[in-house]
Amino acid sequence: MEKMALESNAAAMVAPGKGILAADESSGTIKKRFDKIKLESTSESRRAYRDLLFTAPGAEKYISGVILFDETLRQKSSDGRPFPELLASRGILPGIKVDAGAKPLAGFPGETITEGLDGLRERLAEYRGLGARFAKWRAVIDIGAGIPTRYAIEGNAEALARYAALCQEAAIVPIVEPEVLMDGDHSIERCEEVTDRVLTTVFNALFMQRVHLEGIVLKPNMVIAGKKCAVQATPQQVADATLRCLRRRVPTAVPGIAFLSGGQSEAEATLHLSLMNRAGALPWQLSFSYGRALQKSTIDAWRGEVSNVAAAQRTFLRRARLNGLARNGSYDAAMEQVAA
């Protein structure tokens, strides 16, 4: 019974034509986004911005779920309804980021371990009561000289699996997010090698900790060259390398894979997803769980002004619709000009 509820929510999160909006920026991260439009980050400006996203007319056609930050899960829409209730009334699953961030890993310069396991069982019970039906935990793996180390990968995989098991115990679908960063100057081949090892280690830990794979959603990075690498791969090369890696390492019991955007532009993230979904029959749903790649143009259109809310909502809907098209491979880069 419990397994069936996990499976049906996981399937709903990766329903065809839709994807997940990652709006779970921590207070520090949303401040960085607001700094760019010279807007002060206050509890009310953060609420107003999330309200804009969650009330955008028509968004439920393309958005299956939204990942919230603790503060947002407890806030209300302008009509007085708590955000989780508003989202659920639109057929959008509310989710919650539960990790406490990536912290320096003692003894391993340049590497991090994601914290947040202490008290997680109790927090999950509370979040479930507040309406959360899925959760997210992000592990961060950086590529550089001599890193990642084997221990950093294993330590992060253990924590991800521990979190996933606790979520399933609480009838919450875990989004398992091992992110290999695209910040360095590494090649796409190096990214593939590291992503390969990370996914293998993560699925091994999920197996050891008895996680029910049919009731998770995997949120990986795409296989892509580092931003500072002199040789950038073509979109088709990114799509091919990513699919090759996932086919090798992700069991077909997993219902869906929802990519993070990780610093790709909005158009790049949409194009890569569309190319992968054009590759023919795949064993899992291939979807999106974008933060920046769903919100960048929306924040720019809003700029913190009430008078821009309707235009910003249209911008958000357009981005969501283009990613919805990428879900079955029918997005084309030329649509960026037309739709604008």
* Pure H helices in 209-265: 235-249
Q: Does 292 bind ligand 13P (CB under 6 A)?
A: yes
Structural contact between residues 198 and 192, judged by C-beta atoms closer than 8 angstroms: no
Please identify which residue in 260, 273, 276, 320 interacts with ligand 13P, judged by CB under 6 A: 260
Of the candidates 113, 142, 150, 289, the residue with the CA atom closest to the CA atom of residue 228: 142
Q: Is 214 a catalytic residue?
A: no
Nearer to ligand 13P, 129 or 296 (CB): 296
Of the candidates 39, 97, 43, the residue with the CA atom closest to the CA atom of residue 68: 97
Q: Does 262 bind ligand 13P (CB under 6 A)?
A: yes
Nearer to ligand 13P, 114 or 168 (CB): 114
Instruction: Round to whole Å and give the CA distance between 249 and 201.
Output: 10
Site size with ligand 13P, rule: CB under 6 A: 10
Catalytic residue among 18, 97, 136, 219: 219
Instruction: Round to whole Å and give the CA distance between 314 and 335.
Output: 16
Q: Does 261 bind ligand 13P (CB under 6 A)?
A: yes
Q: Does 137 bind ligand 13P (CB under 6 A)?
A: no
Look up residue 177 and give its DSSP letter.
E
Catalytic residue among 177, 179, 192, 266: 177
Query: From the CB of residue 308, how many other CB atoms can be counted at a distance below 10 Å?
Result: 16
Site string for ligand 13P, 172-191 (x = CB under 6 A): -----x--------------
Q: Does 296 bind ligand 13P (CB under 6 A)?
A: no
Q: Does 138 bind ligand 13P (CB under 6 A)?
A: yes
Q: Does 6 bind ligand 13P (CB under 6 A)?
A: no
Instruction: Round to whole Å and give the CA distance between 56 and 36.
Output: 22
Spatial neighbors of 331 by CB under 8 A, at least 6 apart, are 270, 271, 273, 274, 322, 323, 325
Structural contact between residues 246 and 198, judged by C-beta atoms closer than 8 angstroms: no
Nearer to ligand 13P, 153 or 293 (CB): 293
Of the candidates 138, 143, 141, 135, the residue with the CA atom closest to the CA atom of residue 115: 138
Segment interacting with ligand 13P, rule: CB under 6 A, options 126-134, 203-211, 260-268, 305-313: 260-268
Q: Does 22 bind ligand 13P (CB under 6 A)?
A: yes
Q: Does 225 bind ligand 13P (CB under 6 A)?
A: no
Cβ at position 223, least distance to ligand 13P in Å: 15
Q: Does 291 bind ligand 13P (CB under 6 A)?
A: yes
Q: Does 135 bind ligand 13P (CB under 6 A)?
A: no
Instruction: Round to whole Å and give the CA distance between 192 and 243.
Output: 10
Q: Is 71 a catalytic residue?
A: no
Task: Give me the residues that bind ligand 13P (CB under 6 A), please.
Answer: 22, 138, 177, 260-262, 290-293
Residue numbers annotated as active site: 177, 219
